[in-house]
């Protein structure tokens, strides 16, 4: 049982490139399958955390692997969006989101190795929820856009309306703000680093 969380994290890492490859294929069925794979991978994130907490299982490997798997999965979803429509999902926004999440993840891993508990705020948890909702909307819109199906009309309209660009700006802004808030509320961690 103690290896199950790490196995589930590894599964997420394996599923991420499969999702990425399938979604980039210009076929609706493959893109829908990729979204199902993304969903399964996201569910493993809940279960590995639940199992680890329930059985009080934590290893050095898990401390490293769990956040890595989360970010690999999330980043793969953000990376495919500019291929849907770069005007609505600009690369600069994707890069900003990834840079923020990499920095905070490295900070969290460092704090755990130093046995320092990082303070979290509701903004960070809200950011994660908003990102996931946004990603599902973006992935579904991208899958149906320009495919000639009934739902494609709505997907095309959503892309042409600029709504997704506004949402992308909101998600990017919230992500960067939560990162700055993380640094501020955990500023003592940097003080400790400077003294060591």
User: For residue 20, what is the domain's CATH number?
Assistant: 1.20.120.1760
Output the average pLDDT for the chain: 85
pTM of the model: 0.86
Q: Tens digits of per-residue pLDDT, 84-106?
A: 999 999 999 999 999 998 898 88
Contacts of 6 (CB under 8 A, 6+ apart): 48, 59, 61, 62, 65
Domain assignment present for residue 69? The answer is: yes
Question: Quick one: pLDDT at residue 196?
Answer: 46
Instruction: Flag whether 8 is in a domain.
Output: yes
More confident site: 124 or 54: 124
Handedness of CA 172, 86, 72, 50 (dihedral sign): positive
Judged by DSSP in three states, 156 sits in helix
User: What range does the domain containing 131 cover?
Assistant: 4-190
- Domain assignment of residue 49, yes or no: yes
Q: Specify if 196 maps to a domain.
A: no
Tell me what pLDDT residue 158 has: 94
Within a domain: residue 195? no
Predicted local distance difference test score (pLDDT) of residue 52: 57
- 17-72: per-residue pLDDT in tens? 999 999 999 899 999 999 999 999 988 877 666 565 565 666 656 556 777 888 89
Count of structural domains, the chain: 1
Give counts: helices (H), strands (E), the chain: 8, 0
pLDDT at position 132: 92
What region, left, alpha or beta, does residue 146 occupy, with left being phi > 0 and alpha being psi -120 to 50 degrees? left
pLDDT at 161 > cutoff 80: yes
Residue 192 has pLDDT above 80, yes or no: no
């Amino acid at each position: 049982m103690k290896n199950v969380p790490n196995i589930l994290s590894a599964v997420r890492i394996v599923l991420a490139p499969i999702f990425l490859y399938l979604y980039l294929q210009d076929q609706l069925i493959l893109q829908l399958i990729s979204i199902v794979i993304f969903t399964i991978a996201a569910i493993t994130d809940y279960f590995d955390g639940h199992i680890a907490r329930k059985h009080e299982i934590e290893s050095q490997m898990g401390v490293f692997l769990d956040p890595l798997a989360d970010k690999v999965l999330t980043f793969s979803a953000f990376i495919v969006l500019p291929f849907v429509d770069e005007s609505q999902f600009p690369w600069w926004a994707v890069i900003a989101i990834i840079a923020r999440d990499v920095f905070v993840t490295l900070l969290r891993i460092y704090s755990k190795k130093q046995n320092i508990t990082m303070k979290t705020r509701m903004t960070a948890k809200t950011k994660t929820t908003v990102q996931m909702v946004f990603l599902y909307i973006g992935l579904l819109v991208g899958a149906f856009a320009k495919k000639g199906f009934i739902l494609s009309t709505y997907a095309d309209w959503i892309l042409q309306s600029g709504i997704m660009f506004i949402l992308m700006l909101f998600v990017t802004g919230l992500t960067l703000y939560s990162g700055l808030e993380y640094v501020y509320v955990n500023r003592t961690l940097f003080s400790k680093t400077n003294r060591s």
